[in-house]
Amino acid sequence: MGVPARELYEKEFPMLTFTDRAREMLAAFLDQGDGELEFLRIAMSGGPTAPEFELTLVSPEERRDDERALESEGITVLVSEAQVDALEGATVDFVERVNESGFEVRPRKGAEPTPPSAPDGPVADRVREVLDDQVNPAIASHGGAINLVDVQGTEIYLEMSGGCQGCAMSRLTLRQGVERMLRQAIPELTAVHDVTDHAGGVNPYFQA
């Protein structure tokens, strides 16, 4: 079911700015959507010290219940209610480098991004129960821990820390151990994402 038109545009979003290049490329991508794509969704994942931003173009029907539609320089931006503050003073740019190109969000210079609030709801509660009761006690001997950082429908986002951050066995631990436990306890899960900044690990249990 689509969102009523009167609810699509809630308020101005002056704390988010777009570079000229970003506006130019965004307009080009929107034109390719034959009018179906109208909103720019910005989602933040990862830890507060190493946030990652994902930008996607979506149609009005794809707006989620927990998202706010905010106007910024004539562009409608969809942002999770819990992540609005994290974008205060941020700049959206389109960068072109040797090996990559795409949209990029730069937080306000000199400001530490505001981490998203802890996810809540039935799925979040059950995930944390599995992590606290089964997973983290088992990996504590390695100096590691795994925490839930976000829930999007039936997809969850996990972050590793301590000995698990940057560990050469982290992928195997997640896919063959943690994910299996979670799916057994919560059959409706459709995806388990690792948003850990593994390159920033300072004391991995197994070196790559």
* 48, 70, 144 from 40: Cα distances, Å: 22, 10, 36
Average pLDDT, the chain: 78
Q: How many CA atoms lie within 13 A of 128 on its CB side?
A: 12
pLDDT per position as a tens digit, 126-135: 999 999 999 9
Core vs surface per residue 111-123: b (16+ CB within 10 A) or e:
eebbbbeebeeeb
Give the domain 5-106 fold: Hypothetical Protein Aq_1857; Chain: A; (2.60.300)
Give 122-200's CATH code, choosing from 3.20.20.70, 3.30.300.130, 3.40.1160.10, 3.40.830.10: 3.30.300.130
**pLDDT in the model for residue 128:** 93
pLDDT digits (tens, 9 = 90+) for 137-147: 988 887 888 99
Residue that wins the pLDDT comparison between 64 and 11: 64
Question: Is the dihedral angle over the CA atoms 195, 45, 163, 154 positive or is it negative?
Answer: negative
Output DSSP code: residue 141: G
Q: What residues contact 34, with CB distance under 8 A and at least 6 apart?
A: none
- Residue in 145, 114, 117 with CA at minimum distance from that of residue 131: 145
Token pair of 174 as six digits: 């997640």
Q: State the Cα–Cα distance between residues 28 and 83, nearest whole angstrom.
A: 27
Which has the closest alpha carbon to 51: 118, 124, 107? 107
Q: What is the pLDDT of residue 4?
A: 41
Q: For the segment 1-47, what is each residue's pLDDT rounded down to a tens digit? A: 344 433 444 445 556 788 888 888 888 877 776 666 678 888 877 65
Q: What is the DSSP letter of 201?
A: -
**Mode of pairing for the β-strands spanning 11-12 and 101-106:** unpaired
Among the listed ranges 47-51, 125-129, 154-158, which one has the minimum average pLDDT value?
47-51
- For the chain, give every domain's residue range: 5-106, 122-200
